[in-house]
Amino acid sequence: MIRTGIAGASGYTGVELVKLISNHPEASLEVITSNSYNGKALTEIFPSMRGFESLVCEAFNAKDLAGRVDLMFLALPHKVSMEFAPQLIEQGIRVVDLSADFRFTDPKAYEGAYQPHSALDLMNESVYGLCELFRDKIRDARIIGNPGCYPTSILLALVPLIRENLISTEGLISDSKSGVSGAGRSLALGTHYCEVNESFSAYKVGNHRHTPEIEELLSQAAGTPVSLTFVPHLVPVTRGMISTVYATVNPGVTLEKIRAAYDKYYMDEPFVRLLKQGAFPAMSHVRGTNCCDIGCHLDPETGRLILVSAIDNLLKGAAGQAVQNMNIMFKIDEKTGLDAVQTPL
Amino acid sequence: MIRTGIAGASGYTGVELVKLISNHPEASLEVITSNSYNGKALTEIFPSMRGFESLVCEAFNAKDLAGRVDLMFLALPHKVSMEFAPQLIEQGIRVVDLSADFRFTDPKAYEGAYQPHSALDLMNESVYGLCELFRDKIRDARIIGNPGCYPTSILLALVPLIRENLISTEGLISDSKSGVSGAGRSLALGTHYCEVNESFSAYKVGNHRHTPEIEELLSQAAGTPVSLTFVPHLVPVTRGMISTVYATVNPGVTLEKIRAAYDKYYMDEPFVRLLKQGAFPAMSHVRGTNCCDIGCHLDPETGRLILVSAIDNLLKGAAGQAVQNMNIMFKIDEKTGLDAVQTPL
Amino acid sequence: MIRTGIAGASGYTGVELVKLISNHPEASLEVITSNSYNGKALTEIFPSMRGFESLVCEAFNAKDLAGRVDLMFLALPHKVSMEFAPQLIEQGIRVVDLSADFRFTDPKAYEGAYQPHSALDLMNESVYGLCELFRDKIRDARIIGNPGCYPTSILLALVPLIRENLISTEGLISDSKSGVSGAGRSLALGTHYCEVNESFSAYKVGNHRHTPEIEELLSQAAGTPVSLTFVPHLVPVTRGMISTVYATVNPGVTLEKIRAAYDKYYMDEPFVRLLKQGAFPAMSHVRGTNCCDIGCHLDPETGRLILVSAIDNLLKGAAGQAVQNMNIMFKIDEKTGLDAVQTPL
Amino acid sequence: MIRTGIAGASGYTGVELVKLISNHPEASLEVITSNSYNGKALTEIFPSMRGFESLVCEAFNAKDLAGRVDLMFLALPHKVSMEFAPQLIEQGIRVVDLSADFRFTDPKAYEGAYQPHSALDLMNESVYGLCELFRDKIRDARIIGNPGCYPTSILLALVPLIRENLISTEGLISDSKSGVSGAGRSLALGTHYCEVNESFSAYKVGNHRHTPEIEELLSQAAGTPVSLTFVPHLVPVTRGMISTVYATVNPGVTLEKIRAAYDKYYMDEPFVRLLKQGAFPAMSHVRGTNCCDIGCHLDPETGRLILVSAIDNLLKGAAGQAVQNMNIMFKIDEKTGLDAVQTPL
């Protein structure tokens, strides 16, 4: 039994982790912490869990956690994570951090998007937890930077094609769409029901913080600096994410080669599903699952390649991938706790 | 391992059953049948299941099922069920029928709401599968009439109070609200997105077919004919049901007595949750669960009692309760396959 | 041209008034005030209006308004209205107040639901602005208490039947459902998109502040104290309201008499539509209109009468009725500015 | 008074036209036709209009219309329009056709996307009704091909920049998102509430019929063949459309030049609103209006230009633009009947 804890259990990502670990046959949830709800039962915050969950929120205290948990999930805002993570590592507790604090390799890229980093050694040590692409490094990592939701949807579609040298690294575009839970549970006019409902909008055009994260990973895959035009949009649904990615194939590259590359990387992956040719994903097809669905289309005349990639932003885009990382880190079957059958309803 | 099959697997209730049985640790799904999709893989109908499910729809043939399954779930339209069920029983296969065909005791009540019944003996034998209230009879039944969604939400709130003689059987009202999945997957203008979205409406005021079903059960509980004013409404959500029930307490009955009656019936029930005083249910709190949440309020001056009861119409209102019935019939822990922790998202 | 102003133009009711007056052929919008957005252009708050509106929010100052406007709409929180209204009246400016402050006759009823009243004389003078029922008094009023949304939907259905002595004043129930805009534009967890979406819930069961307002008006109509069981619910739509009202007809009263009473009151009313027998309203049928649609059903055996009444909570339930009141007060055609054809989309 | 008629009044576009013409101060609605509802009152199909509309659907008969109407709006499926339009023109009735039948210049392009054309002369004569860009030709046209919704949103953003030679005609992409009403009122699994709700999906990737329409117009603007990568998506809202368009600026082109080009074309246009720098459109900001909102962003390093363009698909994308065309054709103020102030609710 893997003994785990969750810091920040009262947010949408945190409570999704609570659900996954509570239902996980080989992990136990020993402790949850919450700044805003310290001392409160989780069922007071989320009455839906009454009768199924009896945890009470504690204040975060790393020393107190020593010996109680093998791994902590940090579902905290960036900056808080980089303060807490080193304390946990010092106690011998492994960490899966869901903030941006341990996703970057380049301190300047991090600082440009967020703020100066106060735990550079640990940032340097951390492994980017995109499971299908970095499994080997994840296995023995002490700390994982769990990927952002947008990066996950985009990188799973692009990295195999870049690594196999099938597409140009110039002119990449991702037109991405996210459900509202991605904005978290904090109050803001932008998440007021009447402002979101029956609307759809682009936001942070040209300057979303996930851009440098994606570009760093694309550049690693290419072995050369790659830039991406990234436009996120808000969709009036609670959960779900679709990235429509535009690229240009290298000369001579056919659709068959594209599909073969995906097969090479994902044929045996339980959570990445290449759709049959002509089919494209819907948010409802991945909701409640840890899957990433990918559909592709190539215009042979122009060489324009269209990739459509869908995930559940709270699962493969956050809590689900975090659990997948834990499964890898503790050498159990990667699907454990993530393989329930789901319907589109 | 309980070997099961599902007839009508391509509808919303059918596919919810597929999900539950697929995730059930002590039951196996041996066969699915579908009239409209005979020969098709389930994943062609519901792409969300790709990689997690590999069943192919068969045509229904009772003889063919003998020896393959211990129990069949019938997620079929009424009238079809009463044709298929006797064939299954003859083959020694137990049946949980989700149509209205085996819910009634009184053939005239059934005929008034639907059509003449062609399997009266079996109808007579069948047990009404409202688990918390008829568990003893369910245990050894060959055939279960799985309750309607509206009846489930209303009867769980009213029957304990009637049996304990706490409320008047006169003047009962249920103002009920259902999500759109209750109308099924068939095409109709009334379920076109643009007609439902941003609207809310009353329908079948005074003549919904669930009324005689509810009244028969209320009358049994009271030992005297009881009538109910029942007004269903359509809510623009996919799943969920709330019944706001109005009754009058008998002289001298206090809120404490009401709550004590619920405690007596439900204290040890895993799927009925009496909310603490002052709290009332939300559809999101029961979505994805087999729970019925009940809140109550009494105006001591007028004696008016307000009960608010919430279920997921596809689970406790259909497929979830069907599985709960199966668990009872096969003497396994009633919560098996129905106890995953859920969040409100 | 009626010169008007709107205090509190940045809220949902306020901006709906801005829209109506801007489109009104016989009224001009001279001034808007906003506490939170003083000095800001309305189009900065609501970019949808860019190019169609050029007003800038001012601070409220009654003396400053003298001579500039003939009528002020107060779309303010209760308590603020009772402070501002007397200042306006003093300047000879007529007032339509959309808060609760001038809806009550009985100071105790007001105080019980809100707080002590600081302008009792004006409260005493004010006229309840339910246009179809109090038109004669509205005409020459200096100050109108514009009815609450729930009261409007309920009173339009019940008052004619009470005045005509067709129903019992005992045991009245209204099970009401409102869209989210009724909760206003302020931030609260209860209006966060992810908390409201795909849910439906009862709230303030047994103690909503609109109850004493409704009861006061019902009692006036009956000439005797009447109490009402009132349960409001939240529907995941932006705008719309439906009240399902339950009553018992007096002995000998038929459906024909009920319909005849409605015809007597509403036959010539442009904004109250009695649906043909068997039809019931939908929120989408009144959205964008100042209409109240009423459908009715009588069970002749039990005498139980079911009334379903629908309005747009922001129009007939607030801003639309406020403009209708203005039209009456200034003796112009009551439909002016409120008669555009709408579709259900 | 312009005397008009609407063929196909029972669809979503048709009824939107009914609304606009009914509210139009200088046009009258003399006749509506409907194949499926011949002989039925419009209020039976759309109860929301009861009391405001009294039209009855007729069968279409061109000879019968002679002398009764000056202009017919055809809100019909393609192929039906090309049958009806010549009959109307023969009777001296001008036509605004909302199908695709009269939008093309090149018969092969039309035939490739639809079917062989049976009224080539009229197709040749017809004017593409994108008002802001072809106003001069529209004025005296006998027949207008009213633009598709996707083409409208894309062409208004791109054509000025192409005409002014500011962007490359290579590598153009439009990632477009539409509300569900664009799919019409016919029944299909793809518009069933439970299939659309809480989802979002790409469809017809690489082969949507609007592509050749857009490409023909882009090519005209460029004076050279232009191709466009076009990916439409379905958003769970009733109305609204956003196109996120990606282009590359020509060497030396700055954001200022882009904005200056828009100003040149649209500064005096009432229905195209260039947003201030840094702002981007939302569907809710144009809902209910005939406006197209455009926001833009240029990455000076890569030369990548991002344009976000929003319309109400039923208004500027269909019925609103049709009325705007009528206003131009009959030399009245172009804003007439389209200038009501709207809110985002």
C78-133 tens-digit pLDDT: 999 999 999 999 999 999 999 999 999 999 999 999 999 999 999 999 999 999 99
What does the angle CA C260 – CA C261 – CA C263 come to, to the nearest 5 degrees? 60
Q: What pLDDT is attached to residue B206?
A: 85
Between strands A57-58 and A27-33, the pairing is parallel
By three-state DSSP, how is residue D121 classified?
Answer: helix
By three-state DSSP, how is residue B279 classified?
Answer: coil
Work out the number of other CB atoms within 10 angstroms of the CB of residue A139.
13
Average pLDDT over residues D224-245: 98
pLDDT in tens, D285-331: 999 999 999 999 999 999 999 999 999 999 999 999 999 999 999 99
Give the separation between CA C333 and CA D9, rounded to whole angstroms. Answer: 30
Q: Which residue of D has its CA nearest to B234?
A: D193
C183 shares a domain with C107? no
pLDDT at B311 > cutoff 90: yes
Residue D294 per-residue DSSP state? E
Is D140 inside a domain boundary? no
The set of catalytic residues of C is 149
Chain B neighbors (3+ CB pairs < 8 Å): A, C, D
CA D119, D122, D128, D131 torsion-angle sign: negative
Give the separation between CA C324 and CA A127, rounded to whole angstroms. Answer: 65
Q: What pLDDT is attached to residue D207?
A: 87
Average pLDDT over residues D204-222: 95
Q: Which tokens belong to B338?
A: 């129905």
Which residues does A256 contact at the CB level (< 8 Å), separation at least 6?
none
Chain A interface includes D244 (CB < 8 A): yes
Mutate to test the interface with B, among D181, D193, D235 (most CBs of B within 10 A): D193
Is B327 inside a domain boundary? no
D225 shares a domain with D181? yes
Residues B317 and B241: beta-carbon distance below 8 Å: yes
D28 shares a domain with D88? yes
Chain C interface includes A268 (CB < 8 A): no
Q: At what angle do helices A149-163 and A131-139 cross, to 10 degrees?
A: 90
Chain A neighbors (3+ CB pairs < 8 Å): B, C, D
% chain A with pLDDT above 90: 99
By three-state DSSP, how is residue C129 classified?
Answer: coil
CB contact under 8 A, C242 and B200: yes
Q: At what angle do helices C319-329 and C131-139 cross, to 10 degrees?
A: 40
D303 shares a domain with D207? yes
B105 shares a domain with B25? yes
pLDDT at A198 > cutoff 90: yes
Which of A5, A15, A152, A211 lies closest to C194 in space, CA to CA? A15
Q: What pLDDT is attached to residue A107?
A: 94
Range of the domain at D280: 150-311
CB contact under 8 A, A343 and B275: no
CB contact under 8 A, D193 and B180: yes
pLDDT at A339 > cutoff 90: yes
How far does B209 lie from chain D, in Å, by closest CA? 23
Q: What pLDDT is attached to residue B138?
A: 98
CB contact under 8 A, B238 and A345: yes
What rounded mean pLDDT belongs to chain A?
A: 97
Give the separation between CA A93 and CA A33, rounded to whole angstroms. Answer: 15
How far does B129 lie from chain D, in Å, by closest CA? 27
B266 shares a domain with B169? yes
CB contact under 8 A, A342 and B52: yes
Residues C345 and D239: beta-carbon distance below 8 Å: yes
Active-site annotation holder among D57, D131, D149, D291 = D149
Q: What pLDDT is attached to residue B88?
A: 98
Q: What pLDDT is attached to residue B64?
A: 95
D149 is catalytic: yes
pLDDT grade for B207, boundaries at 50, 70 and 90: confident
pLDDT in tens, A25-82: 999 999 999 988 999 999 999 999 999 999 999 999 999 999 999 999 999 999 999 9
Q: Which tokens belong to D310?
A: 């929003």
pLDDT in tens, B170-188: 999 999 999 999 999 999 9
pLDDT in tens, B268-281: 999 999 999 999 99
Is A327 inside a domain boundary? no
Contacts of D187 in chain B (CB under 8 A): 187-189, 192
Average pLDDT over residues D27-36: 96
CB contact under 8 A, C341 and D23: yes
How far does A141 lie from chain D, in Å, by closest CA? 36
Is B99 inside a domain boundary? yes
Average pLDDT over residues D137-165: 98
Query: Which of C201, C229, C304 is closest, CB to CB, to B229?
Result: C304
CB contact under 8 A, D197 and B12: no
CB contact under 8 A, C187 and A192: yes
A222 shares a domain with A281? yes
Work out the number of other CB atoms within 10 angstroms of the CB of residue A211.
22
Is B134 inside a domain boundary? no
A28 shares a domain with A161? no
CATH number, domain containing residue C170: 3.30.360.10
Q: Which residue of B has its CA nearest to A267?
A: B51
ipTM of the complex: 0.96
B285 shares a domain with B178? yes
Phi-psi map region of C240: left, alpha, beta (phi>0 left; psi -120 to 50 alpha): left
DSSP string, A155-216: HHHHHHHHHTT-B-SSSEEEEEEE-GGGG-SS--GGGBHHHHTT--EE-STTT-THHHHHHH
CA atoms within 13 A on the CB side of B177: 32
In chain C, which residues have pLDDT < 50?
Answer: none
Give the separation between CA A151 and CA A217, rounded to whole angstroms. Answer: 9
Widest CA span of chain C, in angstroms?
Answer: 63
Give the separation between CA B127 and CA B104, rounded to whole angstroms. Answer: 9
How far does B84 lie from chain C, in Å, by closest CA? 36
Query: Which of B19, B282, B344 is closest, CB to CB, to A343?
Result: B19
Query: Which of B171, B201, B344 is closest, CB to CB, to C283?
Result: B201
CB contact under 8 A, C201 and B233: no
Query: Which of A48, A51, A286 is closest, CB to CB, to B284?
Result: A48
Q: What pLDDT is attached to residue C319?
A: 98
Alpha helices in chain D (DSSP H): 12-22, 42-45, 62-65, 80-90, 107-113, 120-125, 131-139, 149-163, 193-196, 210-222, 255-266, 283-286, 319-329
% chain A with pLDDT above 70: 100
User: What are the φ and ψ backbone dihedral angles of A53, each rounded to 5 degrees?
Assistant: -145, 140
CATH number, domain containing residue D81: 3.40.50.720
CA A21, A26, A28, A33 torsion-angle sign: negative
Chain C interface includes A180 (CB < 8 A): yes
Is D179 inside a domain boundary? yes
Which of C200, D207, C250, C16 lies closest to B280 in space, CA to CA? C200
Is C334 inside a domain boundary? no
Q: Supply the pTM of this predicted model.
A: 0.97
Q: At what angle do helices D131-139 and D255-266 cross, to 10 degrees?
A: 30
D222 shares a domain with D166? yes
pLDDT grade for A174, boundaries at 50, 70 and 90: very high
D274 shares a domain with D201? yes
B180 shares a domain with B110? no
Residues C271 and C311: beta-carbon distance below 8 Å: no
Choose the final residue of a domain: B72, B91, B125: B125
CB contact under 8 A, B201 and C280: yes
From residue D317, alpha-carbon distances to B310, C77, C223, D85 in Å are 42, 39, 56, 21
Phi-psi map region of D198: left, alpha, beta (phi>0 left; psi -120 to 50 alpha): left
Is A286 inside a domain boundary? yes
How far does A62 lie from chain C, in Å, by closest CA? 30
Query: Which of C270, C339, C342 is closest, CB to CB, to D48?
Result: C342
Chain C interface includes D287 (CB < 8 A): yes
Q: What pLDDT is attached to residue C206?
A: 85
Which residues does B48 contact at the CB level (< 8 Å), separation at least 6?
A284, A285, A286, A287, A289, A342, A343, A344
How many domains is chain D partitioned into structurally? 2
Average pLDDT over residues A90-119: 96
By three-state DSSP, how is residue B140 classified?
Answer: coil
Q: What pLDDT is attached to residue A207?
A: 87
CA atoms within 13 A on the CB side of C87: 13
pLDDT at A206 > cutoff 90: no
